[in-house]
């Protein structure tokens, strides 16, 4: 049975807070400076990613716990599955992982982001897609339901705003690309934006 947006948010937030508290020590310790600087030189002189600290996952209004969730998901993207159905008025997504730590991060991230959209609080993550801007500006026009099933976290988002529908479709494709290719997908999206 689907759970209405605000009730689902409350339930997910409570679960998310418990989850973050349970694993934040390990994830935050990993992010707290065990890398070798912001960039590392890789093969052929290319700049590499700081996969220990992942500074691009921080934001102007993001908590350390939110950044840690993103790190867990990016570091374990191959453990995540996702399906997307584009609806005429929105999207239906199912995102899951058999890894309990990754699934906990997914649930907490979904709850947190839906709450932020409802509050109009953009975390301004440094690698964040500009596609998200419209959600924070017009979040009151989104209808969201969340259901946690054996298949994963099922999110249905609909709206009568055509620009929001287009943004939902675009963002769903962006997230699927990140699930498929991890940080490489982020690099590709960022490179397209500067061209």
The verdict on residue 134 lying in a domain is yes
Report pLDDT for 54.
55
Report pLDDT for 53.
53
Report pLDDT for 5.
55
Report pLDDT for 43.
37
Report pLDDT for 129.
79
Residues of the chain with pLDDT under 50: 7-47, 55
Helical axes 64-75 vs 100-119, angle rounded to 10°: 130
Structure tokens at 52: 């220990």
The verdict on residue 175 lying in a domain is yes
Q: How many CB atoms lie within 10 A of CB 195?
A: 4
Model pLDDT for residues 141-178, shown as the tens digit of each residue:
999 999 999 999 999 999 999 999 999 999 999 999 98
Longest Cα–Cα distance in the chain: 53
The verdict on residue 44 lying in a domain is no
The verdict on residue 85 lying in a domain is yes
- In the chain, how many domains are there? 1
Report pLDDT for 4.
53
The verdict on residue 187 lying in a domain is yes
- The residue segments making up the domain with residue 182 are 3-28+55-194
The verdict on residue 48 lying in a domain is no
Report pLDDT for 51.
53
The verdict on residue 38 lying in a domain is no
Residues for the chain: how many in total?
A: 195
Report pLDDT for 148.
94
Structure tokens at 115: 């709450």
The verdict on residue 81 lying in a domain is yes
Enumerate residues 6+ apart whose C-beta is below 8 A from 79: 97, 98, 99, 102
Report pLDDT for 194.
77
């Amino acid at each position: 049975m689907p759970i209405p947006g605000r009730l689902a948010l409350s339930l997910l937030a409570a679960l998310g807070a418990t989850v973050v508290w349970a694993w934040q020590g390990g994830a935050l310790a990993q992010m707290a400076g065990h890398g070798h600087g912001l960039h590392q030189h890789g093969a052929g002189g290319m700049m590499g990613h700081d996969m220990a600290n992942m500074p691009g996952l921080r934001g102007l209004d993001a908590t350390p716990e939110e950044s840690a969730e993103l790190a867990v998901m990016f570091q374990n993207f191959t453990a995540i599955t996702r399906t997307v159905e584009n609806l005429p008025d929105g999207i239906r997504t199912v995102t899951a992982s058999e890894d309990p730590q990754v699934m906990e991060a997914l649930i907490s991230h979904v709850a947190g982001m839906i709450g932020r959209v409802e509050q109009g609080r953009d975390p301004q993550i440094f690698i964040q897609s500009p596609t998200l801007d419209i959600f924070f500006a017009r979040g009151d026009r989104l209808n969201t339901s969340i259901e946690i099933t054996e298949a994963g976290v099922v999110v249905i988002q609909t709206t009568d705003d055509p620009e929001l529908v287009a943004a939902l479709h675009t963002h769903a494709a962006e997230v699927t690309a990140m699930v498929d290719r991890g940080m490489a997908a982020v690099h590709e999206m960022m490179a397209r934006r500067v061209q």
